[in-house]
Amino acid sequence: MPLTRFSVPPLHTVTRSLSAVAMGREAPDLVITGARLLSTYTERIHEGREVWIKSGRIAVVKPAGTFQPAVGVKTKIYDARGGLLAPGLVDPHIHIESSMMTACAYAEGALLNGTTTIFCDSHEIGNVCDAAGIEWMLRDARQAPLNIFLTVPSTVPATSPRFETAGGDLTPAKIGKLFDKWPEAVALGEKMDFVQVAMGDKRSHAVLGEAIRRGKPVCGHIYGREFVAAGAAAGITDTHESIDRDIADDFLENGLWIFLRGGPPTTPWHSLPLAIKTVTELGANPKRVCVCTDDRDADDLFLFGLDWVVREAVKHGMKPVTAWSMGSLHPATRYAKDADLGGIAPARRADLVLLNDDLVPQNTWYGGELVVEDRKVTPILDKALSKRYRYPKAAYATVKIAPKLKLTPALPTGPVTANVIRTALPGIILFHDKVALNPAPGQTWPDLFAQHGLCFVTVVERHGKSGRVAHGLLKDFNLQEGAVGSSVGHDAHNIILAGTHEADLQLALKTIKAMRGGVCVVRGGKVVAKIALPVAGLLSDKRATVVAAESTALKAAWTAAGCTLPYMGFNLIPLSVIPEIRITDQGLVTVPGMQILPLFEPAAD
């Protein structure tokens, strides 16, 4: 890893120096004194402590006031004034791409929220740019002022090419090479094709084998209690998909770590309140329970960071020290990084957070450097954030759309039954409805669709492979007029559009193409909000605060258009590994049956 101002030397190179500081033979570089110390090891709060730091690592914890500088010693002293000093948070499962920003930009929001380490699954850029995209992201991560580890994407594409067209194809051999080349590749990312795993698919198990034989942990993605044991038997040892108390309990009893996912309550990601009941109601021990964010929009990263998820765990019944441990020591232990991360003790990295009594971060030290003070970025971090990694030209040329596409389906000439995707909050699971459509005399098809709460939904293949377009109908999405579109249609990341008329859909597609990827809202024949995502059609190359402001404006326009499903939930509509029905560039796909359905069928007798 290249040396930066924030680099911390490997432990084996500084053990003598750390021991000398602990014994008082050498002076520390920094002393944080006058703190109450949150111990994740014993889940206690200790009054009146100070932490001695050398070379970016903790040398010793002492009673406050112990350090007495000698003449000529240049030790910096920081008075915590009774604040609560805790280890930096460790997010065990996130997708950087969901924030629509690069890793270097993502670091700003993370550090402001007291998160100093993340484990990211970059399957989004892998689906677009194959292994090359993963390596670009890793180079980006190495330049970022944040500890970033990779859980190697395991399911690219998420399903067979028969059901979707992706830009990448991470074979078992490619995954093995990523493990061997990059020391940051510490685990196998979420195995999304849980049905194929349970049914013994050879490729799925070959991917698992690449991680297992290297001694790497395997992350899971499982919906449905009937699949839990089969996933565990295949070597999966964690999951973030605990959507309720009972399946969370099943996961724990089958030997899996669970990552309780907390997200803004208006999004599909806030499953923590129900899943945490395995501890608060069923009495499960939280020793193998962590908290995570999974996905965050750019503005939500600042408002709903991992610190907010910790506070949600407290709100739903956990003791504050236990909740903070679930966000620091527990995930560090899950990935065998607890010798470096997750606690305040000798030899650990000096990744520290000063909290108020409500567990809101005020200061963040990263490798002993003060990067956030009084909830503001310090000059040293501001300088680092201004020097972001520049992705290569190939990353800016991933939207390859066939010309002259028809974005609405050919409409029937008589009564039909339509296979319809019905949306419902929180929005992860989509429902398969059959809707009888029989226009009354003089009634137009658009009027009939509006009567049934329907709008068009279209997926456009954008990797320059098949040029396919698939048409469908959304129910209860509530888009009254205009169109919305995104190049972030999970997981193949084709373009997904929804709208009421062909012209509006065409304008949304034209806008996305001109931006080289992005998201937009069209109303009144005009683009009223947009975010350009030119890096792989997934990421902005701007600073986090800029992307966050654009995201806030987009959400306002999205809501004004009437869309009941939030933007991030909308992006999941093509994700053909979650029940009951999806739409990909290949058409309407049932899950887990994996059958392709026609949009219109003959009317029932």
Query: Strands 416-422, 361-366: parallel, antiparallel or unpaired by DSSP?
Result: unpaired
Measured distance CA(54)–CA(75) in Å, rounded:
10
Q: Locate 161 and state its tokens.
A: 């090419």
Q: What is the DSSP letter of 199?
A: T
Residue 280 Cα distances to 245, 288, 290, angstroms: 10, 14, 14
Q: What is the pLDDT of residues 388-406, one digit of tens each?
A: 999 999 999 999 998 999 9
**Is the distance from CB of 331 to CB of 290 less than 8 angstroms?**
yes
Phi, psi of 517 (to 5 degrees): 120, 145
Q: Locate 561 and state its tokens.
A: 């258009």
What confidence score (pLDDT) does residue 5 get? 54
Measured distance CA(295)–CA(564) in Å, rounded:
19
Q: Locate 262 and state its tokens.
A: 């907390």
Asked whether the predicted pLDDT for residue 321 surpasses 80, the reply is yes
* Concatenated DSSP letters of 416-429: EEEEEEEP-TT-SS
Answering whether pTM is above 0.85, one says: yes
Q: Locate 306 and state its tokens.
A: 């991992």
Q: What is the pLDDT of residues 328-366, one digit of tens each?
A: 999 999 999 999 999 999 999 999 999 999 999 999 999
Residue (of 236, 149, 256, 226) closest to 190 by Cα position: 236
Q: Locate 64 and state its tokens.
A: 């406050």
Q: Locate 200 and state its tokens.
A: 């013994």
536: left (phi over 0), alpha (psi -120 to 50) or beta: left
**Is the distance from CB of 432 to CB of 590 less than 8 angstroms?**
yes
Asked whether the predicted pLDDT for residue 414 surpasses 70, the reply is yes
User: What's the CATH fold of domain 88-337?
Assistant: TIM Barrel (3.20.20)
Q: Locate 373 and state its tokens.
A: 């003070």
**Residue found by looking up tokens 């970033």 in the block:** 148
pLDDT mean over 257-278: 91
β-sheet with 89-94: strand ranges across: 89-94, 115-120, 147-152, 185-191, 218-220, 238-239, 257-261, 289-292
Asked whether the predicted pLDDT for residue 266 surpasses 80, the reply is no
Asked whether the predicted pLDDT for residue 605 surpasses 80, the reply is no
Asked whether the predicted pLDDT for residue 283 surpasses 80, the reply is yes
pLDDT mean over 502-515: 98
Measured distance CA(221)–CA(428) in Å, rounded:
13
Q: How many residues does the chain have?
A: 605
Measured distance CA(50)–CA(514) in Å, rounded:
55
Helix axes 172-181, 123-143, angle to 10 degrees: 10
| Rg of the chain taking only CA atoms, in angstroms | 25
**Is the distance from CB of 10 to CB of 351 less than 8 angstroms?**
no
Q: Where are the domains of the chain?
A: 88-337, 416-602
> 143 burial class (0-12, 13-18, 19+ CB within 10 angstroms)?
buried
3-state secondary structure of 188: strand
Q: What is the pLDDT of residues 130-177, one digit of tens each?
A: 999 999 999 999 999 999 999 999 999 988 888 999 999 999 999 999
Measured distance CA(591)–CA(58) in Å, rounded:
50
**Residue found by looking up tokens 């510490």 in the block:** 186
3-state secondary structure of 587: strand
**Is the distance from CB of 537 to CB of 493 less than 8 angstroms?**
yes
Residue type, 196: Q
Asked whether the predicted pLDDT for residue 551 surpasses 70, the reply is yes
Measured distance CA(144)–CA(386) in Å, rounded:
11
**Is the distance from CB of 64 to CB of 49 less than 8 angstroms?**
yes
